[in-house]
Amino acid sequence: MWTVIISIITLIVGGVAGFFIGVYYLRKQLEKMQNDPEMLQKMAKQMGYNMNKQQLQKAQSMMKNQQRSGGRRK
């Protein structure tokens, strides 16, 4: 009985911890992309988009503006 309860609790705690670790990792990767246009362009190519310099600059400025506002929409 206790084995089942402890297993379920461990699964829930692991899932929650994994979610927060994933969010933290994703935010750090997005911060790196803001400063590295090559990384941003690589991600765009993986998604099937070809971006020129003007589009890269616009994407970087949008990401920086979003970070300044705390990631919240107005």
Q: How many domains does the chain have?
A: 1
Q: Tell me if 15 is assigned to some domain.
A: yes
Whether 18 maps to a domain, the answer reads yes
Domain assignment of residue 49, yes or no: yes
Burial 29-64 (b: 16+ CB within 10 A, else e): eeeebbeeeeebbeebeeeeeebeeeeeeebbeebe
Q: Is 74 helix (H, G, I), strand (E, B) or coil?
A: coil
- 40 domain residue, yes or no: yes
Question: Is 58 inside a domain boundary?
Answer: yes
pLDDT digits (tens, 9 = 90+) for 4-63: 999 999 999 999 999 999 999 988 887 777 777 788 788 888 888 888 888 888 888 887
Q: Does residue 53 sit within a domain?
A: yes
Res 74 pLDDT > 60: no
Domain carrying residue 34: 2-68
The pair of structure tokens assigned to 67 is: 């970070």
